[in-house]
């Protein structure tokens, strides 16, 4: 017995349509430049939530998957000049593999060991790419943007709309996993893994699936990054900001449904843009940290939970 | 016992570091049997159950269920082959309402591969009716009373439509009438053909229910027989009352 | 490159470094290994301790003295943190596991950024008589500060191990890690004991922070690489094993030192994390794990 998906798909079409319309009407490129980042965090938070929210396995290593996606693009651009779509698919594949491998290594252990292992992933990935000359090593590499695909006139606008489409795909995937028998199994794992296993849930397989899908989406989100900046270097690509942003967005927004990460990412990214520009980058991290602690302590079900309570109180 | 035992445990051992929880335990359970497992605290009862259900891997020996060696199988595959258990300390899926707790085994065991044809919710409601929890179907399982939690544990195990059901101290701390309720449910299940292993401390319940009883102490079987034989056995008395 | 001549010095340096790692990890061994608290913020608290030592150093205080003086203050801080953690998370069961982890993660961020806002991103150092000097041992030169850190580390580790095995409270702490219901039956209050233990772990971390700034300059982001090092040590040791912590620390220290010699500084941070992943993959219960 499933809820009808029609309202969701209508909403999705509206979102993509609005993005395309904006790209056509608005000329100031800054909005798309900033908007790309916001949408990227929507994807990252949604992807994070598949494993972190639904299954309860906290992943600190978003930056590792994101960065791998970005560097996959770099390698493809450098070697064969691959188009954007190929970059995204390859990035998703490789990051998915990384998720599978990391999961295989650590998902048989308790949650905190998985979390620490994901931190290790970032450091190891960063170290690997710092020492790889072909992609620029520690100093990074500059890239030339090709011309945008018609009807787009601006590459930035094209990337923005592409990212919006990717976000819709990511949310659709998350929504499917959440509302299907898969989601129920993941929730059972989160509630009591031992009881889930004894109720016939193949816990390791489901966790691996969640980890792989999550990693693949994060990699896909990272693939257009080199073209977005025209420059890639390990320190800022494997930056903890992505991990923090994804985790905090999902936990502040609410981890139970796909809507939470979207709301959380929109909120936190907007705050990030404002604070970073007006005050400082560090203050932004402080704000995120405080918000995370406050919500985790006082509003564990996130913004979505608060909204639900408000609706019930009326 | 000869013939086709449903469950054959042979020489099973389990160690935790230097501590031996189970030392070469062997027993056989016939299909349709009502089997009682008793023993003082720390004797290894739950460890044995964990080894049978797959929550733990036994270090030595073999476990054969319906002719198949299952020692290497993960727990969920043993459940799919027909072994279900309840937990001593109830572990409900606390984020889900009561009825959804039962949908999980229904989806993952009974209707695997044919979900589109099944009305799992209706089936779950039927099970809840049978166990007396139907009016709590939509209640979040985190809000149940102790008795209700124990019933939910049993119902969830039953939802997997097992051939062997292991009930781990389902009656601890319950009142006399509540114990009777649970016993009635277990008897009814057994009548429909389900083999039941009951672990209990409440002696009169075990003795009323079981056809055969095994007593564990410090990881070994010290007595096996009818309830009457077991109660009269001096080793059993010593194990419970101390030397 | 691998040099046979430099190997003894690398190993010796690794031993000193390893004992230092063991000492800074021992607080985590108690907090996470024994008490099962997902204390990701442990390295951040240590870096905070290092900065406190730095501030006291500006008034001319010797870093070891600062560390000792800070210990009781951090002890109280630790008790407070545990109390808060217990009331908010541990009481509420398994769902709280994720949130507890996120809480400590948030705490790490707050501490790290707080330090950046307070002190900037530049490296900070302290001065003392033994920093900057080296001891000559035949062909090898051993930095004095490493010897000092090594001595303090040994004393700290031995002291804590003795405390846990000889004193009543110490044994109660070990007991609560193994069998909480039994302890309750004996009339002891597990929460009080855990609170005391966490306070102890945090107090020890103050001294670890002092050693940190003795061994080298500190900066706010130092906590990140130490997450890898401390957790690698604690996991390799086997949760809750004090002797294991020393052995694991030595293994890490020597590995890092050799990698440093052979491949240079850009590979060194990966050693701890790589070791951690290997241990988690092959033998997650560590060397001496329960």
What kind and span of H or E run contains C75? helix C63-88
d(CA A220, CA A167): 10
Cβ pair B94:A187 closer than 8 A: no
**Taking a contact as any Cβ pair under 8 Å apart, which residues of chain A between 236 and 255 contact chain B?**
none
Residue A198 forms contact with C (CB below 8 Å): no
Query: How big is the CA angle at C47 (ends C106 and C32), to the nearest 5 degrees?
Result: 60
Longest alpha-carbon distance in chain B: 60
pLDDT given for residue C96 in this prediction: 63
Segments of chain C scoring below 70 in pLDDT: 1-2, 91-96, 180-182, 289-290
Domain span holding position A112: 6-243
Q: What is the mean pLDDT of residues A142-155?
A: 82
pLDDT more than 90, % of chain C: 28
d(CA C208, CA C59): 20
What is the fold, at CATH topology level, of the domain defined by B7-94+150-241?
Rossmann fold (3.40.50)
Check pLDDT > 50 for residue A253. yes
* Residues 6 or more apart whose Cβ sits within 8 Å of residue C233: C21, C22, C25, C28, C29, C245, C248, C249, C252
HEC per residue, A132-163: CHHHCCCCCEECCCCCCCCCCCCHHHHHHHHH
Q: Which residues of B touch C95 (CB under 8 A)?
A: 94-95
Q: Domain total for chain A?
A: 1
Q: What is the mean pLDDT of residues A287-296?
A: 91
Longest alpha-carbon distance in chain A: 61
d(CA B45, CA B226): 18
For residue A151, cis peptide bond before it (omega within 30 degrees of 0): yes
Contact A55, A186 (CB under 8 A): yes
pLDDT given for residue A2 in this prediction: 47
Q: What is the mean pLDDT of residues A152-174?
A: 91
pLDDT more than 90, % of chain A: 50
Check pLDDT > 60 for residue A247. yes
pLDDT given for residue B19 in this prediction: 83
d(CA A70, CA A68): 5
What kind and span of H or E run contains C137? strand C134-137
Check pLDDT > 70 for residue B1. no
* Residues 6 or more apart whose Cβ sits within 8 Å of residue A275: A283, A284, A287
DSSP A3-59: --SHHHHHHHHHHHHHHHHHHHH---HHHHHHHHHHHHHHHHHHHHHIIIIIS----
pLDDT band (50, 70, 90) for residue B3:
low
pLDDT given for residue C2 in this prediction: 66
Note whether residue A165 is domain-resident.
Answer: yes
Contact A37, A201 (CB under 8 A): no
Q: Which residues of C touch A58 (CB under 8 A)?
A: 98, 101-102, 105
Check pLDDT > 50 for residue B117. yes
Helices (H), chain A: 6-25, 29-49, 62-80, 84-106, 111-130, 155-179, 181-191, 193-198, 203-222, 225-229, 234-237, 240-253, 259-278, 281-298, 302-313
* Residues 6 or more apart whose Cβ sits within 8 Å of residue C111: C41, C44, C45, C47, C48, C223
Identify which of C94, C95, C290 has the shortest CB distance to residue B17. Answer: C290
pLDDT given for residue C8 in this prediction: 83
Q: Which residues of B touch C244 (CB under 8 A)?
A: none
d(CA B81, CA B73): 10
Measured CB to CB, residues of chain B less than 8 Å from chain A are 53-55, 74-77, 79-80, 84-85, 87, 91-96, 100, 103-105, 107-109, 112, 115, 119, 121, 156, 159-160
- Condensed to tens digits (0 to 9), the pLDDT of residues A70-122 reads 999 999 988 888 888 899 999 999 999 999 998 888 887 777 788 888 888 88
Mutate to test the interface with C, among A52, A105, A123, A193 (most CBs of C within 10 A): A123
> Cα-Cα-Cα-Cα dihedral of B182, B184, B188, B194, to 10°?
40
pLDDT given for residue B17 in this prediction: 72
pLDDT given for residue B243 in this prediction: 47
Long-range contacts of C260-265 (CB under 8 A, 24+ apart): C260/C10, C261/C2, C261/C3, C261/C6, C261/C7, C261/C10, C262/C1, C262/C2
Q: Which residues of A touch B107 (CB under 8 A)?
A: 181, 184-185
- Condensed to tens digits (0 to 9), the pLDDT of residues A21-52 reads 888 888 888 888 888 999 999 999 999 999 99
Query: How big is the CA angle at C239 (ends C233 and C244), to the nearest 5 degrees?
Result: 55
d(CA A114, CA A101): 12
Contact A127, C269 (CB under 8 A): yes
For residue B40, list its beta bridge partners.
none
What kind and span of H or E run contains A232? strand A231-232
Note whether residue A104 is domain-resident.
Answer: yes
Note whether residue A75 is domain-resident.
Answer: yes
Domain boundaries of chain B, sorted by first residue: 7-94+150-241
Note whether residue A163 is domain-resident.
Answer: yes
What kind and span of H or E run contains C162? helix C144-166
Identify each DSSP E strand in chain B by its residue range.
Answer: 7-16, 19-29, 34-38, 60-65, 68-69, 83-85, 164-168, 195-199, 212-217, 220-225
- Nearest chain B residue to C289 by CA distance is B17
Check pLDDT > 70 for residue A3. no
Residue A68: how many other CB atoms lie within 10 Å:
27
pLDDT given for residue C12 in this prediction: 87
Contact C236, C273 (CB under 8 A): no
Note whether residue A121 is domain-resident.
Answer: yes
pLDDT more than 90, % of chain B: 60
Query: At what angle are helices A240-253 and A62-80 packed, to 10 degrees?
Result: 130
Mean pLDDT score of chain B, rounded to an integer?
A: 90
For residue B25, list its beta bridge partners.
B12
Cβ pair A197:B105 closer than 8 A: no
> Cα-Cα-Cα-Cα dihedral of A71, A75, A78, A79, to 10°?
-170
Mutate to test the interface with B, among A195, A205, A301 (most CBs of B within 10 A): A195
Contact C194, C180 (CB under 8 A): no
Cβ pair B94:C93 closer than 8 A: yes
Q: What is the mean pLDDT of residues A249-266?
A: 94
Mutate to test the interface with B, among A185, A187, A198 (most CBs of B within 10 A): A198
Select from B236, B242, B226, B215 the least CA-distant residue to B45.
B215
Q: Indicate left, alpha or beta for C238 from its phi (over 0: left) and psi (-120 to 50: alpha).
A: left
């Amino acid at each position: 017995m499933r809820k009808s998906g029609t309202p969701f798909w209508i909403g999705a079409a509206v979102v993509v349509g609005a993005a395309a319309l904006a790209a056509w009407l608005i000329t100031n490129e800054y909005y798309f430049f900033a908007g790309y980042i916001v949408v990227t965090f929507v994807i990252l938070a949604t992807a994070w939530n598949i494993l972190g929210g639904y299954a309860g396995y906290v992943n600190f290593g978003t930056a590792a998957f994101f960065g791998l996606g970005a560097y996959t693009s770099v390698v493809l651009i450098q070697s064969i000049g691959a188009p954007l779509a190929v970059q995204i698919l390859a990035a998703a594949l490789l990051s998915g593999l990384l998720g599978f491998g990391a999961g295989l290594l650590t998902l048989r252990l308790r949650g905190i060991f998985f979390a620490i292992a994901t931190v290790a992933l970032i450091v190891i990935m960063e170290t690997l790419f710092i020492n790889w000359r072909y992609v620029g090593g520690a100093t990074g590499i500059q890239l030339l943007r090709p011309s945008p695909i018609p009807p787009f006139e601006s590459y930035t606008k094209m990337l923005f709309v592409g990212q919006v489409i990717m976000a819709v795909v990511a949310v659709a995937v998350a929504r499917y996993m959440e509302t299907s028998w898969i989601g129920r199994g993941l929730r059972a794992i989160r509630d009591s893994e031992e009881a889930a296993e004894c109720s016939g849930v193949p816990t390791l397989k489901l966790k691996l699936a969640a980890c792989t899908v999550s990693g693949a989406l994060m990699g896909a989100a990272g693939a257009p990054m080199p073209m977005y900046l025209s420059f890639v270097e390990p320190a800022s690509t494997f930056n903890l900001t992505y991990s923090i942003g994804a985790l905090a967005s999902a936990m502040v927004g609410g981890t139970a449904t796909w809507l939470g990460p979207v709301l959380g990412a929109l909120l936190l990214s907007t705050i990030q843009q404002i604070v970073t520009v007006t005050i400082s980058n560090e203050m932004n991290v402080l704000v995120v940290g405080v918000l995370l602690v406050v919500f985790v302590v006082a509003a564990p079900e996130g913004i979505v939970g608060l909204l639900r309570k408000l609706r019930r109180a009326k | 016992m000869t013939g086709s035992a449903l469950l054959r445990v042979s020489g099973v051992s389990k160690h935790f570091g230097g501590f031996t929880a189970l030392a070469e335990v062997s027993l056989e359970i016939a299909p349709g049997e009502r089997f009682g497992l008793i023993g003082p605290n720390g004797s290894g009862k739950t460890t044995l159950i964990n080894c049978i259900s797959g929550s733990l891997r036994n270090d030595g020996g073999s476990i054969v269920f319906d002719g198949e060696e299952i020692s290497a199988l993960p727990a969920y595959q043993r459940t799919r082959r027909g072994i279900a258990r309840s937990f001593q300390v109830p572990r409900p899926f606390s984020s889900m309402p009561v009825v959804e707790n039962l949908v999980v085994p229904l989806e993952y065991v009974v209707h695997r591969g044919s979900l589109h044809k099944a009305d799992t919710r209706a089936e779950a409601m039927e099970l809840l009716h049978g166990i007396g929890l139907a009016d709590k179907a939509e209640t979040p399982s985190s809000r149940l009373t102790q008795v209700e939690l124990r019933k939910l544990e049993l119902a969830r195990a039953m939802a997997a439509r097992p051939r062997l059901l292991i009930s781990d101290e389902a009656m601890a701390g319950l009142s006399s009438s509540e114990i009777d309720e649970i016993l009635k449910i277990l008897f009814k299940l057994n009548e429909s053909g389900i083999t039941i292993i009951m672990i209990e401390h409440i002696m009169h319940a075990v003795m009323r229910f079981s056809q055969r009883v095994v007593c564990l102490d410090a990881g070994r079987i010290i007595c096996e027989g009818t309830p009457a034989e077991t109660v009269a056995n001096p080793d059993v008395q010593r194990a419970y009352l101390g030397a | 490159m691998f040099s046979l001549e430099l190997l003894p010095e690398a190993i010796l340096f690794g031993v000193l470094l390893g004992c230092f790692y063991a000492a800074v990890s021992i607080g985590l061994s108690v907090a996470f290994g024994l008490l099962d608290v997902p204390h990701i913020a442990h390295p951040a608290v240590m870096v905070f301790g290092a900065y406190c030592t730095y501030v006291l150093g500006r008034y001319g205080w010797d870093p070891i003295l600062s560390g000792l003086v800070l210990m009781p203050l951090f002890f109280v801080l630790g008790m407070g943190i545990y109390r808060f953690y217990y009331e908010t998370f541990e009481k509420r069961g398994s769902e709280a596991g994720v949130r507890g982890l996120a809480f400590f993660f948030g705490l790490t961020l707050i501490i790290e950024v707080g330090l950046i806002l307070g002190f900037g991103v530049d490296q900070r150092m302290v001065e003392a008589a033994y920093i900057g000097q080296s001891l000559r041992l035949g062909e090898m030169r051993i930095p004095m500060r490493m010897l000092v850190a090594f001595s303090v580390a040994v004393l700290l580790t031995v002291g804590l191990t003795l405390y846990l095995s000889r004193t009543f409270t110490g044994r109660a702490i070990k007991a609560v890690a193994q069998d909480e219901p039994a302890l309750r039956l004996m009339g002891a209050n597990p929460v009080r004991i855990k609170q005391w233990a966490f306070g102890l772990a945090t107090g020890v971390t103050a001294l670890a922070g002092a050693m940190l700034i003795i061994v080298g300059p500190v900066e706010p982001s130092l906590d990140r690489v130490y997450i890898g090092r401390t957790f690698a040590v604690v996991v390799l040791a086997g949760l809750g094993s004090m002797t294991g912590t020393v052995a694991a620390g030595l293994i890490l220290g020597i590995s890092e030192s050799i990698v440093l010699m052979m491949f240079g500084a850009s590979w060194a941070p990966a050693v701890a994390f790589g070791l951690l992943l290997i241990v988690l993959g092959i033998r997650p219960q560590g060397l001496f794990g329960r």
